[in-house]
Amino acid sequence: MNPLPPKTLQPEKIAQNLLGKPAALEVIPPNPFHSFRSFSHDFPAEIARWQYHPEYEIHLIREGTGSYLIGDVIGTFEAGHVAFIGSGLPHDWMSNLQPGQVIKNRDAVIQFLPEFINGLMETMPELRDLKPLLKESSQGIIYSGETAKRAAKEIEAVNSSSGTRRILHLLALLVLFAEAPKKEKQTIAKQWFTPNASDEGISAVESGVKYIFDNLTKNIRMSEAAKRAHMSEPTFSKYFKKASGLTFSEMVRKMRIAHACRMLEDTNETISSICAASGYTNLANFNRQFLAEMDMTPSSYRLLDDQKRPEKRILSLGLVGE
């Protein structure tokens, strides 16, 4: 699992074209010639946005690094990232980009309706072994190690196949997920606001989070986030806290500390440089905020090996239903 902004850090450019867009219900038209959907797309692209849909989704990132939102969690990805997203679970992947950059065919995606897999399980009882996997996917699952490598090959095989072989590759992929060892999979969202949350709450969280991403190393003001959500500051603050379970300043801290964790893991920058790159102007304050979030100092975190680093490399946003 690889969290947070990369060595060529340009967090102010992340998701530039996505700012201000609320979580959207993606309507996926059925294809009479296919029982499920598989495709590739670039980033940025209109389809690459914070959204939810009734289909299950299997997602491969082929290239680049960046940050994801899955349910109530923010983390980071790199090439080879594989995720299985349950029906109705909000999700988004945002790459770190140079100005004007487009990552061609960044994503390989497979989507299928619950009715499709449920129908297969009705006619082929052996497939009912997949039920625990499907239930677990409601929290979002990210795969790593050999499971992710093998899954990437199966995803590409689905996209390049037709007819019966296409279905066989999908089933092989689901079996691979179901049999993945615990050390190579991680459920992500523990709780998350549902699509039934108020439009105002969704808009406040979406606009606020995108604004923070876009200005992570800069001076972040709630007044600007409220403006992007077309709300007054008091209204924005109320809806943001109600929908996310966090104040705006708490969200800023979580995202900045997550950014700092990635730099501590992946660069040799000094602590003071990482402090500045994470949006803090005072080293003592940075150390206090890091300690509050991670239960250790930045220096102690850097000394840990990968196995001992806390799971908070993936940070829960605390999103809740209304």
The residues spanned by each domain of the chain are 24-187, 199-316
pLDDT bucket at 198, cuts 50 / 70 / 90: low
Please determine, for residue 62, whether its predicted confidence score (pLDDT) is greater than 70: yes
pLDDT attached to residue 188? 86
Residue-wise pLDDT for 84-127, tens only, equals 999 888 888 888 788 888 999 999 999 999 999 999 999 999 99
Element (H, E) at 85: strand 82-85
Q: Domain 24-187 is in which class?
A: mainly beta
The pTM for the full model equals 0.65
pLDDT bucket at 33, cuts 50 / 70 / 90: low
Q: Is 306 exposed, middle or buried (0-12, 13-18, 19+ CB in 10 A)?
A: exposed
DSSP three-state, residue 45: coil
Q: Domain 199-316 is in which class?
A: mainly alpha
Picking from 47-51, 274-278, 285-289, which range would have the lowest pLDDT averaged per residue?
A: 47-51
DSSP three-state, residue 11: helix
Q: Which residue has the higher pLDDT, 172 or 230?
A: 172
Q: How far apart are CA 111 and CA 58, in angstroms?
A: 6
